[in-house]
Amino acid sequence: MSTLVRDEAETCTRRVRLTPYKMMDKVMIIELHNYIFTVHLAAISVQLVLLGLIPATTANPEPRLLFVFGDSYADGGNLPPGSVSAWHAPYGMFRPGKPVGRFSDGFVATNILAEALQMPSPTPFRVVLQNASISGGVNFAVGGSGVTHAFGAPPFQIQVVWFASMVLAGLFTPEDLNRALVFVSVVGNDYAAYNGSSLEGYFPLTHEVPLLIDLNLRTLYSLGARNFIVSSISALDCLPTATASSGFMECEKNATVDAVIAAHNHHLGNRLENITRNLENSSVLYLQQTRSMHYVLNHLPEFNLTEGLKPCCVGVCGSVDVTGNPLYTVCENPERHFFWDGIHPTEAGWRAVVELYKRPRFTRFARSLSAWVDSLRP
């Protein structure tokens, strides 16, 4: 990723840090969001112009584009090579056989969802900046990101700025944008980065995070996007980082975590419903990721899985000691494990989760993923 993008990310991170102890006034959050968007847009636009990318044509209708925003569950390789564990073995061992910056043994949620939609996986923005093809869409998601402070990666707001710069450069037609699908995965980094112990500390975030997701979706709508697929939060109580203390035998029993999950999903659902009611021609599919992950973990044989809570890669996955010896162990059959490392599912795990989106009960605002797609205008 270019120095320009890294510098913007660092600047933005300093400016958007929200206190978890007292919720910011709604007007303050909106003004901050608009300030970030305005300040950073011009610089990225200049970078795209210098690359000489050619605007899309307006010939016969093309296949739908897929635009992706969010975190490591969706990141297709936007962090700089070598900078994080996903660029080191054993990541990517199943597909493509080497690390490519995806936080899994193979595909992540974006790739599996694209397959289910019968669409190509979108090009990571880092590669687009090297003048790669954007014919299938663009993946702007960055591992470690959120909408507030998270872990210092470019947050959702900055990812939207990157997208806006491409729109304003004329790289997509209004018809492209109206027909495109937008996938958003903001599923827990804001809460993990806070790492508090009391509900009083977390509770303001369960309002702030859905609000900022809402604001970014509305910005995307103002840029021409109409069709949004948004994930609920991850099953934080069942991540290997939470189950390690029990020897990966059971999901964590923590009233605070349960309350955070419920509050986040509830507030986000209300905001998404408001968007569907008040933004003309908008369409939203709310993926019930929390429920889907819990279901898979409780019905492993149904998905040809044998290991639910214990990750395939145990230890400091992707790291080695000073002599080059790995600080982790890797299972022999990742295709049988739901989790790859302490946070991320395997490709097989993601396939199981996305399979549930094709069934009733695991999506909101439409009966299933396919029913939602069928409801969209051609």
Q: Which residues are catalytic?
A: 72, 341, 344
CA geometry: angle 348, 290, 365, nearest 5 deg: 105
Give the SS3 label for residue 105. Answer: coil
Quickly list H helices, the chain. 3-16, 26-51, 109-116, 125-128, 156-168, 174-179, 189-194, 199-202, 205-222, 240-243, 255-278, 289-298, 347-357, 369-375
Q: Residue 67: which H helix or E strand, with range? A: strand 66-70
Which structure tokens are listed for 247? 């020897």
> What is the SS3 assignment for 68-82?
EEECCCCCCCCCCCC
Contact 262, 286 (CB under 8 A): no
Q: Which of 1, 4, 28, 2 is nearest to 16 (CA)?
A: 28
Measuring CA to CA, how many Å separate 158 from each of 118, 152, 165, 237, 364? 28, 12, 11, 29, 27
Distance from C-alpha of 41 to C-alpha of 158, rounded to nearest angstrom? 9
Distance from C-alpha of 223 to C-alpha of 275, rounded to nearest angstrom? 15
Which structure tokens are listed for 69? 């925003």
Phi/psi of residue 41, nearest 5 degrees: -65, -45
Distance from C-alpha of 185 to C-alpha of 376, rounded to nearest angstrom? 21
Contact 294, 359 (CB under 8 A): no
